[in-house]
Structure 1
Amino acid sequence: MNLQAKRMKELFGYAATLTKEQGPVVMAGRAAGFFKRRFLGKRARYLPSAKALAAQRAADTSDFPVISILTPLYNTPRPFLEQFLDSVQNQTSPRWQLCLVDASDEAHPEVGQLVQARAAKDPRIVYRKIENGGIAVNTNAAARLATGEYLALADHDDVLAPHAIYCMGKALAHTDADFAYSDEALFRKTPAGAHVAHFKPDYAPEYLMAVNYICHLAVFRRSLFEAVGGERPECDGAQDHDLFLRLIDEMQRTDPKAKPLHLAQVLYYWRVHAASTSGGTDAKPYVQAAARRAVSDHLAATGRQGRVEDGLFPGTCHVVWDLPEPGPLVSILIPNKDHTDDLEKCLHSLYAKTFYDNFEVIVIENNSTDPATTAYYKTLPQRYDRCRVVGFNGSFNFSRINNFGRKFAQGKFLLLLNNDIEIIRGDWLTQMVAEASQPGVGICGAMLYYPDDTIQHAGIITGLGGYAGHSHKYHKRGGSGYMFRLATVQDFSAVTAACLLVRTAVFDAVGGMDEAFTVAFNDVDFCLRVRDAGWRIVWTPYAELYHHESKSRGSDEEDPAKKARFAKEQARLYEVHGREGILRDPYYNPCLSLDYEDFRESGDLRRLKDPQ
């Protein structure tokens, strides 16, 4: 079956399930959204309705904090500057101050003239001419003009959404957050023609170390900005990335659980042109070195030991964590029933290619019927060091089998591994152990490919298809993915148990795997319970393996008993974690589709049209 046919089959299958469970009205709404997204244009797609904007203008915002917008100017083209100033002055909330510092050269006096003419009519606009000290120095100069309780960063060639100050002000007034950020959209000429949005996850610390996904619009307390000393000139090019890391470090110094607030609204329009970083870091080559400096200093400030390298794509970083020698013992649990060819391929690649050598292998035998399997098992201890077989006699239950195997494990870490996995990169286990050893991390998952080098697993997103799905499934190997999410170490709510590394202490603390999930969703449930216990789940693209999926057991699609069991486990997922707990994954934006794994926009963007 080709890829398109497979996707269509999955889509119609999901449509049938949605109609049965939630009714034809919900299904019709999803279908309308799909066709709107597929066949209609995106003009003004992210702007609120006129009714919503009018309601904001009429609202009492006197309890909202004043937000001082910091914007350095430098030879700004007049059309860009006029659009920017208009976007600020046309805000639906009046609770703003615009702090402009002008480092333009003598050949561009019109920049100051234009701004001073506006400032003469609007006292909320504050202007000062300065010498050019670079973006960080200039931003700090703008901050010294600020009187608002909060500061916001905006570039001189970009545009604020008309409801940016209203939405931020309302959120800050109601939550008293120290730091908040929103989604953004890219545009070339006018915001009405925005061609793509950056729909971001909630705060994701590992992802933020790898790339500055927060960007715009970022708003934070002025006192917090002053406490960290403002922006640092030595990180020019990645000064905002550096600032965000230091702001969060300062927040967590007194409250380790503190984190930025994410508003899933497009509140900022980022202009794409030849000299902007929105067009790629090739426009500013020094960005890469500055980003490495920012992350390295963050590691030093938080006492973490690692080396920061360039990531897989420009604009990204990769932290290579220090590990002791030898590393902690890893107990690899491999359930198996017959299929010795698959198991042999798995073990051979494991022992032949893996650089990390402090591991033991526990093959969990589950009711094999082929006499040759028993003979094969007898050869394993002699052929593969630290490998043994333990017998599990119950019916197939993936959760129970792994819980049984854990009883024989001596390692500080457990690696749940399918018998149809084949190693690609020799440092795969080194990378996983290093990530899972970091403070606060309980689980690490890997990049898994189908044998045709398309992606099988790059993290699990809850809510996809109504329950859970794999990020970027079927994408070709080697891409960067949505906002570099195929190419950076990052946070997820869950990862597949086909290759899942977990601290043994964490496994035990949550009671292992829930044996009521016999086949499906056991890994999702397990990861969610670990997450809810306060641990983070991390996925790394630097651990690469092949997964010969479905070789261990047959397809469930045509077997009525298996379909009934699958439906029961779907229902249990909702029972245990709540429907909203599944459909709202904090590491996936609510404006992205739940029907596809490729991070396309949802057909239903009503939240953007009516921010109420």
Structure 2
Amino acid sequence: MKYKVDIVRIRENTITLNGWAIGKTPESLAEFTVEDKNRKKIECKYVSTRRDDVSQIYFGKPYDKDFGFDIQFPYERGEDYYLIIHCDGRKARIKYNEELIAKRSSVAHKRMEKIKDLMNMETVHVAMDFWKENGLRALIIKSKHKLQGIDNDYDYSEWYDLTKPSEEELEAERKAEFSWRPLLSVVIPVYQTPEKYLKEMLDSVINQTYSNWELCIADGSPKGKSVEKILRKYAEKDERIKYRVLGENKGISGNTNAAMDLAEGDFIVLADHDDTLTPDAFYQLSKAINKDPENDVIYSDEDKLDMDGGALFEAHFKPDFNIDLLTSTNYICHLFAVRRSLVEQVGQFDHQFDGAQDYDFIFRCTEAARKIYHIPKVLYHWRCHQDSTASNPESKLYAFEAGARAIKAHFDRLGIETESIEKGVDYGKYHTRFVIKEEPLVSVVIPNKDHHLDLDVCVKSLMEKATYKNLEFVVIENNSTEKATFEYYKKMEEAHENFHVVTWEREFNYSAINNFGVQYAKGNYLLFLNNDTEIIEKDCIQEMLGYCQREDVGAVGARLLYQDDTIQHAGVVIGFGGIAGHTFIGLHKSENSYFHRAMCAQDYSAVTAACMMVKKEVFEKAGGFSEELAVAFNDIDLCMKIRAQNKLVVYNPYALLYHYESKSRGLEDTPEKVARFNREIAIFAKKWPDILKNGDPYYNPNLTLRKSNFALRDLKKEKIGEPYKLEVDVEKQGQE
């Protein structure tokens, strides 16, 4: 017998236990009882749950068996209680009392539990599969990151308790006055909802601090299974609640539209029948609506709650509106509110997209909205159970396929031709390939000083591996001293008519050197490339060009790996370390990143020019690289100037290269170089003070700026909403 109690909670006068237990075979199901200190049985509520994750690990595949449990029983402070698990003739007796539960909640205990979690059969099976697929080095890197995670400052539930509104703040919200009090119409389709879950959702609406709302419910449950009795009881107590019993299931879109037909408010707010809202959700929506009269679409952060609603986990802290992330995954989800007049313009849910009907609806709303506003607060708790896409996307494959159709419909409406929309790193993640129009000339601009062998690897990888052939190479010779370098240039120019060398004769200045090289580029697209890079994916150029050809895009970056297959670049966040930094540095290419962000095409404030494609006309309009930034932040500055033209900067993870990093140029290890680096920090900060002060719109203020892994913000060192001050050794940073 194997078992684990994952969660233990005391709520008022009850204890709730969540976990799983298995025997030697899938047919060996456990039985549970609860006893007091005198071994007398206590009446308890027991609900079995599916645990396909446990089944997969121990039996190799999911079984239609309930290996999980939710057990609740009365609790009296100071008394001892025991959970008894029987299975395969074995018995386990686990003691619980207030002191033990408190001890198990301590940081030290949780750390020890995490260590134990890393030493069970589940970990062994997962580790072996990872080793087989990715090799020993990758497993060592992943294990190191797992161990580092043991020392994370907070579990999310603890962090949430520290950051959620206090009772005093909620009371102040109840008394707050707005110049306009919009009527919020909360639209909920109901279908055979368990009474407990439905009541929790209804209560979460009734308990809102903002009172000008109406609740519009359509019950699509089959005859005899309606929840009308509950709805009638609530509606009799609160006239803001109205409902309609449909008598049949019209499908998720039909049921939602029927609820939407009841709405008379200024904004439509979407919610599911078994989820819950935070008490300040409507207050925050009204605040956002009043902030700008052109805010037509509003969305918030969200998290998940377990089946009994007692534990919160897996918070999704989102960026401000990010259209390319949205076409990679429906990151917006909940809480979602849209002006009713906009719904009348774009239409209600479309049943052709059932399974991803909200995805399609979000696309149509955001396409037509004047402004889209993101509230960086968790306002929605998404209930997670085993047959929910919140927990197991693969359980609703039809939803994934409907999502792909919604993405294609979005691009079709915009007149953007797609070649294919495929499964990304996981279900619910999408990889879009765009049609390349007319195969334009791409000018590859590469500064070089000696290191001709590295340059040869870089150029030959494009010439021989890349499937896109309409390339020219503009190599900018920068004060080389080795005879072999010039011999290499001559040989390549003689052998390849698309290989050209131009000579820079002044001191090193990355910006000036690249601007000089662009003068000789004939292509309408510029690919700035370091000489210490090598392509991995043969379709690298098409992946970048597909995005760069779009009218709304100015620049595209790639996913760059160190030689050991860990991430060197997956986008840039302004504010990391005080100024700017790469995301997910050191994560192995096969490890899961925060909500798979490293493997999602998305918009960022900047990408690195170690591999960056830019429209030539956009580059020229931006004035090229700023030459006062000779070494540091010049690529970030260029991206900021591109965004100032209302063009997007896109990170595409499917454009994959190695970056062997800084072989060509020396370290920042002299007083002169450190002083220059310091000056360039000051120049960048002076040019772009707003984003450093207000935060990167493509990053969430609840996440840390001290690390690149999107961890929770350390509340002891970083206040939410404030920039992270540059508290590093400048000399050391200069050397790095």
Asked if TM exceeds 0.5, the reply is yes
2:570 is the counterpart of 1:458? yes
Q: Is the 8 A contact 1:462 1:582 kept in 2?
A: no
Deviations 1:77-116 (A, max 9, x none): 122111111100000010111111111234534x221121
- The partner residue of 1:132 within 242, 249, 253 is 249
Q: Is the 8 A contact 2:359 2:406 kept in 1?
A: yes
* CA shift in 2, pair 1:317/1:216, >3 Å: same
2:643 is the counterpart of 1:525? no
Partner of 1:123: 239
How far residue 568 of structure 1 moved from its aligned partner, in angstroms, is 1.2
Q: Which deviates more from structure 2 when the two are superposed, residues 569-578 or residues 482-491?
A: 482-491
- The partner residue of 1:384 within 489, 496, 511 is 496
Partner of 1:219: 337
Equivalent position SS for 2:371: coil
Which residue identity is paired with 1:437?
A: Q
- The partner residue of 1:193 within 311, 317, 321 is 311
- The partner residue of 1:405 within 499, 502, 517 is 517
- Cα distance in 2 for residues equivalent to 1:471 and 1:583: 19
Segments of structure 2 that go 5 or more residues without pairing to the other structure are: 1-139, 146-150, 722-736
- Cα distance in 1 for residues equivalent to 2:156 and 2:352: 47
Q: Which deviates more from structure 2 when the two are superposed, residues 55-64 or residues 297-306?
A: 55-64
Deviations 1:390-410 (A, max 9, x none): 110111110010001011111
Which residue identity is paired with 1:520?
A: A
Which residue identity is paired with 2:574?
A: T
* CA shift in 2, pair 1:490/1:560, >3 Å: same
* CA shift in 2, pair 1:607/1:470, >3 Å: closer
How far residue 607 of structure 1 moved from its aligned partner, in angstroms, is 5.2
- The partner residue of 1:231 within 330, 346, 349 is 349
* CA shift in 2, pair 1:41/1:536, >3 Å: same
- The partner residue of 1:173 within 287, 290, 299 is 290
Q: Is the 8 A contact 1:467 1:583 kept in 2?
A: no
Q: Is the 8 A contact 2:156 2:312 kept in 1?
A: no
Q: Is the 8 A contact 1:288 1:314 kept in 2?
A: yes
* CA shift in 2, pair 1:224/1:105, >3 Å: same
Q: Is the 8 A contact 1:288 1:310 kept in 2?
A: no
Partner of 1:315: 428
Q: Is the 8 A contact 2:321 2:373 kept in 1?
A: yes
2:707 is the counterpart of 1:591? no
* CA shift in 2, pair 1:449/1:49, >3 Å: same
- Cα distance in 1 for residues equivalent to 2:667 and 2:274: 54
How far residue 41 of structure 1 moved from its aligned partner, in angstroms, is 3.3
How far residue 384 of structure 1 moved from its aligned partner, in angstroms, is 3.2
- Cα distance in 2 for residues equivalent to 1:362 and 1:278: 49
* CA shift in 2, pair 1:542/1:36, >3 Å: closer
Which residue identity is paired with 1:120?
A: E
Partner of 1:148: 265
Partner of 1:114: 230
* CA shift in 2, pair 1:66/1:246, >3 Å: same
Q: Which deviates more from structure 2 when the two are superposed, residues 544-553 or residues 307-316?
A: 307-316
Equivalent position SS for 1:388: strand
- The partner residue of 1:578 within 684, 689, 693 is 689
Q: Is the 8 A contact 2:141 2:588 kept in 1?
A: no
- Cα distance in 2 for residues equivalent to 1:594 and 1:281: 30
Deviations 1:218-270 (A, max 9, x none): 0011121122220000101111110011112233xxxxxx3311111111111
- Cα distance in 2 for residues equivalent to 1:55 and 1:595: 33
- The partner residue of 1:471 within 583, 591, 611 is 583
CA RMSD, aligned part only?
2.1
Equivalenced residues, count: 571
- Cα distance in 1 for residues equivalent to 2:619 and 2:416: 24
2:651 is the counterpart of 1:539? yes
- The partner residue of 2:359 within 241, 253, 271 is 241
Greater fraction strand: 2
* CA shift in 2, pair 1:582/1:554, >3 Å: farther
Q: Is the 8 A contact 1:461 1:494 kept in 2?
A: yes
Tell me the percent identity. 42
Q: Map residues 43-122 of structure 1 onto 2, 5 A cutoff.
A: 44-61=161-178, 63-109=180-226, 111-122=227-238
Q: Which deviates more from structure 2 when the two are superposed, residues 327-336 or residues 295-304?
A: 295-304
- Cα distance in 1 for residues equivalent to 2:553 and 2:435: 15
Partner of 1:553: 665
- Cα distance in 2 for residues equivalent to 1:493 and 1:191: 37
Partner of 2:326: 208
Deviations 1:489-543 (A, max 9, x none): 1101100000010011111111100011111101000100110121110111111
- Cα distance in 1 for residues equivalent to 2:345 and 2:698: 29
Q: Is the 8 A contact 2:601 2:653 kept in 1?
A: yes
Deviations 1:342-374 (A, max 9, x none): 111111111110111111001101111112212
Q: Is the 8 A contact 2:157 2:312 kept in 1?
A: no
Q: Is the 8 A contact 1:311 1:488 kept in 2?
A: no
How far residue 554 of structure 1 moved from its aligned partner, in angstroms, is 2.5
Q: Which deviates more from structure 2 when the two are superposed, residues 297-306 or residues 353-362?
A: 297-306
How far residue 301 of structure 1 moved from its aligned partner, in angstroms, is 1.5
Q: Is the 8 A contact 1:332 1:360 kept in 2?
A: yes
- Cα distance in 2 for residues equivalent to 1:564 and 1:607: 32
Q: Map residues 247-326 of structure 1 onto 2, 5 A cutoff.
A: 247-251=365-369, 258-312=370-424, 313-325=426-438
Partner of 2:620: 508
Q: Is the 8 A contact 1:64 1:172 kept in 2?
A: no
Q: Map residues 348-363 of structure 1 onto 2, 5 A cutoff.
A: 348-363=460-475
* CA shift in 2, pair 1:113/1:56, >3 Å: same
Q: TM-score, normalised by structure 2?
A: 0.75
Which residue identity is paired with 2:569?
A: H
- Cα distance in 2 for residues equivalent to 1:193 and 1:180: 26
Segments of structure 1 that go 5 or more residues without pairing to the other structure are: 8-33, 252-257
Which residue identity is paired with 1:584?
A: G
Q: Is the 8 A contact 1:152 1:218 kept in 2?
A: yes
Partner of 2:676: 565
How far residue 333 of structure 1 moved from its aligned partner, in angstroms, is 0.7
Partner of 1:19: none
- Cα distance in 2 for residues equivalent to 1:387 and 1:149: 61
* CA shift in 2, pair 1:333/1:233, >3 Å: same
Q: Is the 8 A contact 2:185 2:213 kept in 1?
A: yes
Which residue identity is paired with 1:497?
A: A
Partner of 2:76: none
Q: Which deviates more from structure 2 when the two are superposed, residues 294-303 or residues 390-399?
A: 294-303
How far residue 40 of structure 1 moved from its aligned partner, in angstroms, is 9.1
2:608 is the counterpart of 1:496? yes
Q: Which deviates more from structure 2 when the two are superposed, residues 394-403 or residues 471-480?
A: 471-480
Equivalent position SS for 2:158: coil
Structure with more contact order per residue of length (Cα contacts < 8 Å, sep ≥ 6): 1
- The partner residue of 2:560 within 428, 435, 448 is 448
- Cα distance in 1 for residues equivalent to 2:291 and 2:487: 67
* Deviant stretches of 4+, over 6 Å: none
Q: Which deviates more from structure 2 when the two are superposed, residues 113-122 or residues 481-490?
A: 481-490
Equivalent position SS for 1:279: coil
- The partner residue of 2:549 within 419, 432, 437 is 437
Equivalent position SS for 1:178: strand
Partner of 1:41: 158
Q: TM-score, normalised by structure 1?
A: 0.90
How far residue 560 of structure 1 moved from its aligned partner, in angstroms, is 2.8
